[in-house]
Amino acid sequence: MNNNTNNSPAVNTPKKVCVAYSGGLDTSCIIPWLRETYGCTVVACVADVGQGQRELDGIGEKATKTGASECIIVDLKETFLREFAFPMAIAGSVYENRYLMGTSIARPIIARAQVEVALATGSDALCHGCTGKGNDQVRFESTYAALAPQLRVISPWRIWDLKSREAMLTYLKARNITTTASAEKIYSRDANIWHISHEGGELEDPWNAPPEDVWMITTSPKDAPDRHEDVAIVFKKGYPVSVNGKELDAVALLTELNAIGARNGVGRIDICENRLVGMKSRGVYETPGGTILMEALRGLEQLVLDRETLHYRERMALEFAKVIYNGTWFSPLREAMWAGFESIAQVMDGEVVVRCYKGHAEAAKRRSPNSLFHHGFATFGEDEVYDHKHSEGFIRLFSLPMRIRALLGLSADAKAANVEAAQLATAHGLGGAAKSCCKSTGAAAGAAATTSSGTATATTTAPAANGGCCGGKGNCS
């Protein structure tokens, strides 16, 4: 059975709706609106992904006063990091080379928790407060479809008449529902333990630099300490296990990295990104701990991954970022891709020191029992493992496709080089003619084809259409 996304009240009127509740203005309106529109019972599901105690204080009481029959708060912080954010970091996935996807990676676990609460409470419908312009509606509803396609989906923003903050405030006031929201809200924010995002207000004009008052958790780089701060992180199979010698659980570990990054101004980005729905939006993000963690992982993999594996990981990371950003976490593709990343990470044991200084975080030291770096192989001094003479044959084989292309007269660059050489010789009165690749063409084009016994059987010449690198005129000079 597919999700029933027909929002008309007359179709399959739900009896109990589980709403993803944040306590903000939108969801404060949604609860009474659901009850009035459908005459249904409403269950509020609150996902604690580390948005902060300030956001959670009194949220259960607020939900029930707004009209919810019950409010269930689910602590997801540890699971969020271990099953979602840390795997994303191991994969090295960054959206459009900048965004560490703090909002994107949190939506699947929030929606999954909502589905679980809905099923546990006997709800027959799910509801979210995402607008019809953003990515989140896709992320939530893709998760619903993957985990509970039998449940109806209600998206109030697509059908209700509350189209502005003023209209929503008036709606709540008419029902004597108190709210701390005001019509003067400047920015739209989303926070969790991985990051905080900021949109709206002055940021809607990309010509406006982010004002300093937009930032909430990071120190301005210009005001950060004048001395760098080093942070040592130990990894096992890509997962961080300790910071500065202290073994910590995932939540405590990232909390520590957040504090270190924040006081050093690390983790600020400003991006105009391409939304899945087709429009561009501007977002300003703060991800202090995540930025440090990402840098440490990249420093570690420089030691332990061979060239082809590293480059493959980088290519896969781009596609994995699309999976995360687009909200298709609960898909066979994501499972298959993560199996690859998890296999690659089996050798990612070691310690990395990241140096934080005035907005920058760079891996300064790294070591691993699985390191492929060896002084004996890399030294410029005399060694017993590398014979410099071996490089000649390697280079000839490595460059063979380019050599053949030039010898057959198919390289425009080789032809241009010969022309430039001739002009240079003329202009400077240089003695002798420039050596042309055509002098070798005869040998290449007239090579005899031999049988397995070594007997010449035929001789061929380069096709006249190719004309060699001199256009068929013999010596280019």
Q: Is residue 107 among the annotated active site residues?
A: yes
How confident is the prediction for the chain on average, in pLDDT? 88
pLDDT (0 to 100) of residue 179: 81
**Residue whose C-alpha is closest to residue 138's, from 331, 332, 269, 282:** 331
pLDDT mean over 234-261: 98
Rounded to whole angstroms, how far apart are CA atoms 41 and 15?
6
**Residue whose C-alpha is closest to residue 134's, from 88, 97, 188:** 188
**Considering 22, 93, 104, 107, which one is annotated as catalytic?**
107
Q: Which comes out higher in pLDDT, residue 227 or 447?
A: 227
pLDDT (0 to 100) of residue 375: 75
Q: Is residue 136 among the annotated active site residues?
A: yes
DSSP strand pairing (125-127 vs 152-154) = parallel
pLDDT (0 to 100) of residue 431: 67
**pLDDT reading at 132 higher than 50:** yes
E strands present in 3-118: 16-20, 41-48, 70-75
Rounded to whole angstroms, how far apart are CA atoms 462 and 155?
69
pLDDT mean over 408-434: 86
SS3 48: strand
Amino acid at 90: I
Residue 379 to residues 13, 306, 366, 375: CA-CA distances in angstroms? 74, 18, 18, 6
Q: CB-based contacts of 255: which residues, under 8 Å, 6+ apart?
A: 193, 289
**Considering 188, 242, 371, 411, which one is annotated as catalytic?**
188
pLDDT (0 to 100) of residue 384: 65
Assign residue 50 a region (left: φ > 0; alpha: ψ between -120 and 50; beta: otherwise).
left
Q: Express as a percent the part of the chain with pLDDT over 90.
A: 78
- What domains sit in the chain, N to C, each tagged with a CATH number? 16-185 (3.40.50.620), 189-305+348-375 (3.90.1260.10)
**pLDDT reading at 165 higher than 90:** no
Report whether 22 contacts 46 (CB < 8 A): yes
Report whether 229 contacts 235 (CB < 8 A): no
Rounded to whole angstroms, how far apart are CA atoms 237 and 82?
13
Q: Give residue 439's pLDDT band: very low, low, confident or very high (50, 70, 90).
A: very low
Q: What is the tens place of the pLDDT at every residue in 361-379?
A: 999 999 999 999 987 776 6
pLDDT (0 to 100) of residue 217: 97
Amino acid at 287: T
pLDDT mean over 46-51: 98
Rounded to whole angstroms, how far apart are CA atoms 84 and 347?
20
Amino acid at 253: L
Q: Express as a percent the part of the chain with pLDDT over 70.
A: 86
Q: What is the tens place of the pLDDT at every residue in 59-99?
A: 999 999 999 999 999 999 999 999 999 999 999 999 999 99
**pLDDT reading at 302 higher than 60:** yes
pLDDT (0 to 100) of residue 476: 42
**pLDDT reading at 456 higher than 70:** no
Assign residue 172 a region (left: φ > 0; alpha: ψ between -120 and 50; beta: otherwise).
alpha
**Considering 22, 28, 123, 136, which one is annotated as catalytic?**
136
pLDDT (0 to 100) of residue 12: 72
**pLDDT reading at 447 higher than 60:** no
The strand pairing partners of 190, in sequence order, are: 197
**Residue whose C-alpha is closest to residue 114's, from 156, 81, 79, 76:** 76
SS3 407: helix
Report whether 132 contacts 158 (CB < 8 A): yes
Q: Give residue 451's pLDDT band: very low, low, confident or very high (50, 70, 90).
A: very low
Q: What is the tens place of the pLDDT at every residue in 319-347?
A: 999 999 999 999 999 999 999 999 999 99
**pLDDT reading at 312 higher than 70:** yes
**DSSP category for residue 191:** E
**DSSP category for residue 149:** T
Rounded to whole angstroms, how far apart are CA atoms 412 and 405?
9
pLDDT mean over 43-60: 96
14-28, 162-176, 331-345 — which is least confidently predicted?
162-176
pLDDT (0 to 100) of residue 187: 87
pLDDT (0 to 100) of residue 75: 98
12-27 core/surface letters (b: 16 or more CB in 10 A; e: else): eebebbbbbbbbbbbb
**pLDDT reading at 5 higher than 80:** no
For the CA atoms of the chain, what is the radius of gyration? 31
Residue 341 to residues 91, 313, 314, 369: CA-CA distances in angstroms? 6, 7, 10, 20
Residue with tokens 């969020």: 80
**pLDDT reading at 119 higher than 80:** yes
Rounded to whole angstroms, how far apart are CA atoms 290 and 296?
10
Q: What is the tens place of the pLDDT at every residue in 187-239?
A: 889 999 999 999 998 999 999 999 999 999 999 999 999 999 999 999 999 99
**pLDDT reading at 458 higher than 60:** no
Instruction: Quote the Cα angle for 332-328-305, to 5°.
Output: 70
**DSSP category for residue 475:** S
Q: Is residue 188 among the annotated active site residues?
A: yes
pLDDT (0 to 100) of residue 129: 95
Rounded to whole angstroms, how far apart are CA atoms 437 and 443?
11
395, containing H or E segment: helix 390-398
Instruction: Quote the Cα angle for 414-415-419, to 5°.
Output: 115
**Residue whose C-alpha is closest to residue 54's, from 186, 241, 196:** 196
Q: Is residue 223 among the annotated active site residues?
A: no
Q: Give residue 180's pLDDT band: very low, low, confident or very high (50, 70, 90).
A: confident
Number of residues written out for the chain: 477
